[in-house]
Amino acid sequence: MSENVNKEKKRSKAYFTYLIFILILASILDSYVTIVGGMFPSKIAEEFLSGYKTNEQNALMALGASIASMGYYFIFINLYLADKIGRKKVLAYTVLGMALSCLMMILSTSFWQYVFFWAVLYLFFSSDLWAIYINEESKKEKRAFYQYIVLMGGLIGPILAIILRSIFITETRSDWRALLLVPIIIGIPLSIIVVLTLKETSKYQLMKEDSLNIEKRSFKEDVKAIFKTEQRKSYIALVVMTFIFGAATIWRNLFEKYISDVGTLTQAQISIIFIWTVVAVLIAYLINGLLADRIGRKPLVYLWSCFLPVGVLTWVIGAHDPQNAFIIVQIGFALMHVCFWGLLTILGLITIETLPTDRRGVGVGFRWLFFAIGTTVGLLFSSVFILFLGLGLAFIIFILTMYLLIPLTYFNLKETRGVELSEIK
């Protein structure tokens, strides 16, 4: 395997710097699209579901979100294709797909039409192609560092989303469609730039040159192959943990609706609270970037899994305090986002470091498939809870299942710090 490492394509410093810049743009687009849909569910309900009572609206929103989340399932296909046709081509078409999906959402004239195009958008974002790209082009001792450089650059996306929300969604204005123009403006030219200027990753090229012939394996064989690696126990645990993670975090699509329903905060205050998305994500990325290569990946999984429910409980309960809701919700929201993004990225890094190169794309995609299935199941069941118990209690019940990740990590995950990607079998 050391011979393989020596054969890897060498990238110039200029190209590597340029690659980081392009991947930051992809991360900006991805993070913008990821957060922006959660910034205006109350306005979607106001426009399309105004004839229903509050709990009925919320149940329909959860049902719509569960249907839309099925689009996540195709992330698995995208990453499967990344192993078949290359990282570059799939990165380009997912970027373009995000732009075109947002255009169709803008043109929606009914709730279910909006849900359909929301599902189409889910086909393309959060596929981690940029993360695979940077990890496969970085030296092993710097993988976490460069991944978090790109992630932190991507925080421009949420910052932009928050600024635009404060302009287009106020007490007197409700132009949610304007927020969806940014992915169109960024995504279309970026997809062209990726096609014309990026190179395929060095490790993917090495894999192809070593005649692994992965293109000759069937889809069924590829799926089976990810469960025949040396670290299959860790990988299975990651899949189960990701399912729980997806099912537990139903607040991702309904936080803004809940806070708007409670009514203790103005739209301007809600926009200010979203600023903590950026600050919290930055903190999470910094903690992961600084500690992942020092203390390892597993301790960080324990940390984030433990405190994520605390954050959710804080803002769910605190929103009902008329005097202190603004402060309490900010604290809970910030803690929740630090833990959510910290856990999401560290689990993604562990997954990449658990799978061999020829199965990395399909393996990352399969894990995302179970995040999507968990999201669908969580939202589907929560729609019933919400109808009878309300949003707040549903949030609490589902988030407490996150504590299951602690024993799953302790007994099943193998530490991946310092692993050489080319030597994984």
CA–CA distance, 149 with 180 (Å, rounded to integer): 26
Sequence ranges of the domains in the chain: 15-208+222-411
Q: Is the pLDDT of residue 149 over 60?
A: yes
pLDDT the model gives residue 1 = 43
CA–CA distance, 363 with 83 (Å, rounded to integer): 10
Q: Residues 15-208+222-411: name the CATH superfamily.
A: MFS general substrate transporter like domains (1.20.1250.20)
Q: How many residues does the chain have?
A: 425
Mean pLDDT of the chain: 86
pLDDT, one tens digit per residue, over 299-319 is 999 999 999 999 999 999 999
pLDDT the model gives residue 142 = 74
* Torsion angle (degrees, nearest 10) of CA 106, 160, 334, 254: 0
- Return the closest-CA partner of residue 379 out of 254, 240, 242: 254
pLDDT, one tens digit per residue, over 68-106 is 988 878 777 777 787 778 888 889 989 999 999 999 999
What is the rounded average pLDDT of the residues 370-394?
Answer: 91
What number of CA atoms fall less than 13 Å from residue 5's CA on the CB side?
11
Written as six digits, the tokens of 199 are 């190179």
pLDDT, one tens digit per residue, over 346-370 is 998 898 888 887 777 778 878 888 9
pLDDT, one tens digit per residue, over 189-206 is 999 999 999 888 777 777
pLDDT the model gives residue 5 = 45
Backbone angles phi, psi at 169, to 5 degrees: -125, 110
